[in-house]
Structure 1
Amino acid sequence: MRAVYIKDLSTWASEFKFSVPVSVRFSETDMYGHLNNTVPFIYFELARIEFLKEIRLMNNWLDPKGASFPVVADLQCDFVKQVFFDEKLEVFVKIATVGNSSVDIHYMGKNDKDEIVFTGRGTMVQIGRQTGKGIPWSEEEKILFVN
């Protein structure tokens, strides 16, 4: 594994607690039956949103009168094993670090043989609807991220 955000793979992988199941659809594959290289980003979004709903942060951002919302500032995926049509995957998500108005999120995809097929990371920033600038996390939000 060459992903620079992973220091020790077994420790890193053992820290994931939240996941969502995914079945690879035919439309998500290329002409060779491989998972298209853009699709893990969609899986990351699915897992991230479900995680944020689980920790009860999504409701604030979905309120049209809310003062802030999240944006993805960067996102990367590292491919480890081939994935094919109709495979069953588990896509994991965890918070790696919490900044002032940003959070670094890590992702891991595993197949039904419990093999890692892809990993990823990305930064999400909370910004103000009116200003478009970063809004610091409240202490309550920081606690939600780390618990």
Structure 2
Amino acid sequence: MTPKQRFIEEYAVIVKQDVIWGDMDAFNHVNNTVYFRYFEDARMAFFEKTGVMPHMEATNIGPILASTQCQFRAPVSFPDRILIGARIKEISEKRFTMEYGVFSEQHETLAAKGEGMVVYYNYKLNESCEIPDEIRVNFNQLQAAKHH
């Protein structure tokens, strides 16, 4: 199995995108802040596949990012195509931790990995709340489908 195939196997959701020239910094590689946008792209794709956004629109209950971090493993430059992966690492009553990876096709390696802690939030009451059962089931189904 190639490093790329292994990467694709590891994550429940994969987003493919081209590196754009405007994301580069003075050091000729993708600026560190851009990786958080990459993580967001994968997180939103995960939410789309699990019905999070329609549920949030209907109930005013949805995710809010509480913290995030990134470890940079290899510089990425234009031109390159990247794969951004997302999966849930752990889940509790009111929050879950997502893991992210950014894979460079040009270098055939993991360029960055990170995590984000996401809290479920009642936007009407302005307080955290339990993850709705329907969403939890959708999360589990998406993750399980990837590992069969």
C-alpha deviation, 1:143, in angstroms:
1.5
Letter in 1 for 2:64: V
Asked whether 1:111 is paired with 2:104, we answer yes
What residue in structure 2 maps to residue 73 of structure 1? 66
Aligned-residue CA RMSD (Å): 1.7
C-alpha deviation, 1:23, in angstroms:
1.2
Q: What are the equivalent positions in structure 2 for 1:110-129 lying under 5 Å apart?
A: 110-112=103-105, 113-129=107-123
C-alpha deviation, 1:32, in angstroms:
2.4
Asked whether 1:94 is paired with 2:81, we answer no
Provide the rounded CA distance (Å) in 1 between the counterparts of 2:12 and 2:62: 25
Provide the rounded CA distance (Å) in 1 between the counterparts of 2:79 and 2:55: 35
C-alpha deviation, 1:66, in angstroms:
2.3
Asked whether 1:142 is paired with 2:136, we answer yes
Provide the rounded CA distance (Å) in 1 between the counterparts of 2:134 and 2:13: 20
Letter in 1 for 2:74: K
Q: TM-score scaled by structure 1? A: 0.84
- The counterpart of 2:28, out of the listed 21, 33, 39, is 33
Between 1:105-114 and 1:87-96, the stretch displaced more is 105-114
Asked whether 1:82 is paired with 2:103, we answer no
Which structure features the higher share of helix residues? Answer: 2
What's the % identity of the aligned pairs?
23
Alignment length (residue pairs)? 134
Provide the rounded CA distance (Å) in 2 between the counterparts of 1:137 and 1:70: 9
Letter in 2 for 1:135: C
Q: TM-score scaled by structure 2? A: 0.83
